[in-house]
């Protein structure tokens, strides 16, 4: 059920709720299933045309079974509407238009060629392409570009038809306002890690209950299915699946629930879309947030991060993040206590007998991204040796080093920037014992660093 005030067609909610529901549903399917979206748009077009016919008492002019294209052509024909008795002698469509004038558009066809035609013809024929399995070369191709073009056409049509009942503040169509599946979208951005993760766009959204109250929050990440290899794109889902199999809870501690909104094997969309779900509003681990926390609250975040990463490392199927930094952590407030969630396992190492393929070179290449963004401090001293010979990598100790940097950042209350000086932490009241374990985690030699189990035991014993 669509919710009032959401999506590009919210202005229709109190004007024509049936049309609003159909167009909201079409928007929600636009990225996930092009054909399903087109079928709903067909229903919307039929609903709209029937409304025009009934509102102007023209149903008698159209015999039962009259096809949609015939109705549209007739309603756009001044001669036919004069014959139908709608236009009186001397009247023209300029005096009493039935359907708004629509521009010509250029669209991609099934045969790979571009063609130009009226918006009316394109919207109807796109829906036909989605409703019938046979491929007709000159029909619009079910694809995301045509989906957007079609939705923009409906948006123009609705605004022009109902213009006398709309406030002047109604804005134009915005792709980023479209709902995605069950989720209302309230923010969209090009992700900061696009170069590293190959994620094209990410969206913040929520699922609403019957009263319109958020009951689930999501971070949705979209990938171009045709430009990134399958092994890399599936790594997040594989990590979540493996971790869940070895957890007593449905969502492993310290991880957000992960869903595939589109399957990589699906032919219904060119996008691979995943969502991370949270019970509370998630917030990125940023300086403003940390500045509002006490040292004890920041220590609580550190303990939880150590515990969660230890569970991943010590599972019967160990998982190593490999590119851990503050960008991979979100936090939620549960009645004054902050809980961290580790996400974005695009480059993770999964130690399993299953043949999952490798994303090692993706991880190695991502060092350039971290260096460019000034985050090379999360890379351990041995990273250059790993680049030259990945077989020397001890990924557990790579994570330990990155976690040490991250914990120091959190305790300082400032992520990113230069590496933390221990004098800063001492002045803030961080104990010598914690400084000692951080120093161990940041040792130059991987073998000198403690294991994740040892770090976990330390934080448990020193509360």
Instruction: Read off the pLDDT of residues 347-356 as tens digits, 9 standing for 90 and up.
Output: 888 887 665 4
DSSP state of 180: B
Residue 453 lies in a domain: yes
Q: Are residues 254 and 402 in the same domain?
A: yes
Q: Which band of pLDDT confidence, cut at 50, 70 and 90, is reported for residue 384?
A: confident
Q: What is the pLDDT of residue 136?
A: 85
Q: Per-residue pLDDT averaged across 33-45, rounded?
A: 96
Residue 121 has pLDDT above 90, yes or no: yes
Q: Are residues 325 and 407 in the same domain?
A: yes
Question: Is residue 33 within 8 Å of 270, Cβ to Cβ?
Answer: no
Across the beta sheet with 337-342, what order do the strands follow? 283-284, 329-334, 337-342
Q: Are residues 132 and 240 in the same domain?
A: no
Residue 397 lies in a domain: yes
Residue 374 has pLDDT above 70, yes or no: no
CA-CA distance, 330 to 348, in Å (whole number)?
18
Q: Are residues 158 and 217 in the same domain?
A: no
Residue with tokens 């923010």: 187
Q: Are residues 248 and 128 in the same domain?
A: no
416 vs 396, higher pLDDT:
396
CATH value at residue 193: 1.10.510.10
Q: What is the pLDDT of residue 363?
A: 58
Residue 86 has pLDDT above 80, yes or no: yes
Residue 142 lies in a domain: yes
Q: Are residues 123 and 212 in the same domain?
A: no
Residue among 220, 175, 217, 185 at smallest CA distance from 200: 220
Q: What is the pLDDT of residue 249?
A: 84
Q: What is the pLDDT of residue 370?
A: 64
Q: Are residues 240 and 345 in the same domain?
A: yes
Q: Are residues 27 and 135 in the same domain?
A: yes
How confident is the model over 236-291, as pLDDT tens digits?
999 999 999 888 888 999 999 999 999 988 889 999 999 999 999 999 999 999 99
Residue 143 has pLDDT above 70, yes or no: yes
Q: Which band of pLDDT confidence, cut at 50, 70 and 90, is reported for residue 4?
A: low
DSSP state of 229: -
Q: Are residues 199 and 274 in the same domain?
A: yes
CA-CA distance, 343 to 276, in Å (whole number)?
8
CA atoms within 13 A on the CB side of 307: 16
Tell me the pairing of strands 319-320 and 329-334: unpaired
Beta-carbon contacts of 164 under 8 Å, excluding residues fewer than 6 positions away, are: none
Residue 173 lies in a domain: no
End-of-domain residue from the set 138, 168, 198: 168
Residue 92 lies in a domain: yes
Share of the chain above pLDDT 90, in %: 71
Residue 176 lies in a domain: no
pTM, entire model = 0.91
Phi, then psi, of 446 in degrees rounded to 5: -55, -40
Domain that holds residue 396: 184-461
CA-CA distance, 157 to 254, in Å (whole number)?
47
Q: Which band of pLDDT confidence, cut at 50, 70 and 90, is reported for residue 1?
A: very low
How confident is the model over 300-345, as pLDDT tens digits?
999 999 999 999 999 988 999 988 999 999 999 999 899 999 999 9
Tell me the pairing of strands 337-342 and 319-320: unpaired
Question: Is residue 377 within 8 Å of 405, Cβ to Cβ?
Answer: yes
Q: How many domains does the chain have?
A: 2
Cβ-based burial of 435 (10 A; exposed 0-12, middle 13-18, buried ≥19):
middle
Q: Are residues 200 and 130 in the same domain?
A: no
Q: Are residues 123 and 30 in the same domain?
A: yes
Q: Are residues 131 and 251 in the same domain?
A: no
Q: DSSP per residue over 115-167, as a string?
A: EEEEHHHHHHHHHHHHH-SS--TTSBP-SHHHHHHHHHHHHHHHHHHTGGGS-
Q: Per-residue pLDDT averaged across 398-422, rounded?
A: 93
Mean of pLDDT over the chain: 90
Residue among 16, 20, 78 at smallest CA distance from 51: 16
Residue 455 lies in a domain: yes
End-of-domain residue from the set 108, 134, 168: 168
Residue 435 lies in a domain: yes
């Amino acid at each position: 059920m669509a919710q009032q005030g959401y999506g590009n067609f919210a202005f229709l909610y109190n004007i024509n709720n049936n049309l609003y529901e159909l167009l909201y549903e079409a928007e929600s399917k636009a990225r996930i299933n092009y054909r399903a979206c087109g079928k709903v748009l067909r229903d919307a077009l039929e609903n709209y045309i029937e409304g025009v016919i009934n509102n102007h008492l023209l149903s008698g002019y159209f015999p039962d079974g009259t096809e949609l294209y015939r109705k549209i052509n007739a309603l756009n024909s001044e001669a036919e509407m004069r014959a139908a008795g709608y236009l009186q002698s001397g009247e023209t469509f300029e005096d009493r238009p039935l359907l708004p004038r629509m521009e010509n558009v250029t669209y991609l066809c099934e045969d790979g060629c571009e063609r130009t035609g009226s918006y009316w013809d394109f919207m109807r024929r796109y829906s036909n392409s989605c409703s019938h399995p046979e491929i007709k070369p000159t029909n619009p191709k079910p694809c995301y570009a045509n989906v957007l073009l079609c939705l923009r056409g409906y948006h123009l049509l609705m605004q022009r038809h109902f213009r006398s009942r709309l406030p002047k503040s109604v804005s134009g169509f915005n792709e980023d306002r479209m709902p995605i599946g069950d989720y209302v979208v309230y923010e969209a951005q090009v992700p900061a890690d696009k170069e590293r993760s190959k994620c094209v766009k990410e969206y913040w959204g929520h699922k609403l209950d019957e009263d319109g109250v958020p009951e689930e929050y999501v971070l949705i990440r979209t990938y171009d299915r045709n430009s990134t290899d399958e092994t890399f794109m599936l790594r997040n889902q594989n990590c979540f699946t493996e971790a869940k199999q070895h957890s007593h809870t449905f969502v492993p501690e310290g991880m957000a629930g992960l869903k595939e909104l589109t399957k990589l094997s699906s032919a219904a969309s060119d996008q691979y879309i995943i969502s991370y779900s949270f019970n509370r509003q998630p917030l990125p681990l940023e300086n403003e947030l940390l500045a509002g926390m006490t040292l004890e609250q920041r220590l609580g975040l550190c303990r939880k991060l150590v515990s969660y990463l230890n569970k991943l490392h010590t599972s019967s199927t160990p998982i190593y993040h490999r590119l851990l930094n503050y960008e991979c952590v979100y936090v939620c407030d549960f009645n004054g206590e902050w809980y961290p969630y580790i996400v974005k396992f695009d480059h993770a190492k999964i130690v399993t007998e299953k043949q999952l393929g490798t994303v090692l070179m993706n991880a190695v290449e991502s060092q350039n991204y971290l260096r460019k963004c000034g985050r090379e401090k999360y890379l351990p001293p041995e990273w250059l040796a790993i680049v030259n010979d990945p077989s020397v990598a001890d990924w557990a100790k790579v994570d330990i080093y990155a976690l040490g940097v991250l914990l120091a950042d959190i305790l300082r209350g400032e992520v990113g920037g230069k590496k933390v000086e221990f004098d800063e932490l001492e002045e803030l009241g961080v104990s010598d014992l914690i400084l000692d374990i951080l120093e161990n985690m940041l040792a130059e030699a991987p073998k000198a660093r403690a294991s994740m189990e040892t770090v976990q035991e330390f934080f448990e014993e020193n509360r």
